[in-house]
A and B are shown apart, each in its own frame.
Chain A
Amino acid sequence: KAGVTQTPRYLIKTRGQQVTLSCSPISGHRSVSWYQQTPGQGLQFLFEYFSETQRNKGNFPGRFSGRQFSNSRSEMNVSTLELGDSALYLCASSAGQGGYTFGSGTRLTVV
């Protein structure tokens, strides 16, 4: 069974630009959630999607958005990038109960 796939693995963007990250969950998993990991703030919840609907959102500004497609693949978008958005962005998929499987992450560097 293929794991959670996140693309791209690395990104370098300039302040003010926007970026889109992609996550393909484990086949059959309908829940996809996103987390930001930084040295200062640790792992923080961004949002969770289930069957194309955002069910839960963390405490992040509106520049952070996401969506989920009918095949459960998810994208997150960050607009007007700031230096502080540099982080490892992790996606997790779940079948509903129990474990969450994470992808390898996308490392975003904003310069």
Chain B
Amino acid sequence: GEDVEQSLFLSVREGDSSVINCTYTDSSSTYLYWYKQEPGAGLQLLTYIFSNMDMKQDQRLTVLLNKKDKHLSLRIADTQTGDSAIYFCAERNSGGYNKLIFGAGTRLAVHP
């Protein structure tokens, strides 16, 4: 089946690193994504990783993919108050065309 799971809430101190975790069920997913959503806004694509990669780094963001455990994580270094938002993990469904399966989202709260 298709399912993506995330923890619902994460609270970190400003300047610390944040790690948001995600598990998925479709072992043949081709791409996995991280999106950010601020209040009243659409989804902002942060980064994505192809399924044959283990890691991808983009400035403060590091994505780790463990295909064996079907586990994806997003690490945000030096977390700032502007990083407070909801973060969605998504997998690209392998069985159809261009269909994303989203997790429920992790609300990241950054406090001083």
Residues of A within 8 A of B (CB): 6, 31, 33, 35, 42-43, 45, 48, 50, 55-56, 58, 90, 92, 94, 98-105
Contact = CB atoms under 8 A, between A and B. Distances in A.
Nearest to A94: B98
Interface in B63-112: 88, 90, 96-105
Contacts of A31: 98
B41 A56 contact: no
Contacts of B1: none
Given A55-B98, A56-B99, A98-B31, 16 more contacts: A35-B100, A42-B102, A42-B103, A45-B100, A50-B98, A55-B96, A56-B97, A98-B48, A99-B48, A100-B45, A100-B100, A102-B42, A102-B43, A103-B42, A104-B41, A105-B42
Nearest to B30: A97
B45 A102 contact: yes
A50 B97 contact: yes
B48 A56 contact: no
Contacts, number: 56
B108 to A, nearest CB: 17
A101 B42 CA distance: 10
Contacts of A6: 42
Given A99-B33, A102-B35, A58 B45 contact: no
Contacts of B96: 55-56
A6 B43 CA distance: 13
A87 to B, nearest CB: 13
Contacts of A92: 43, 100
Nearest to A44: B102
Contacts of A98: 31, 48
Nearest to B92: A100
A101 B99 contact: no
A48 B97 contact: yes
Contacts of B97: 48, 50, 55-56
10 contacts: A33-B99, A42-B102, A45-B101, A56-B97, A94-B98, A100-B45, A101-B45, A102-B35, A102-B44, A103-B42
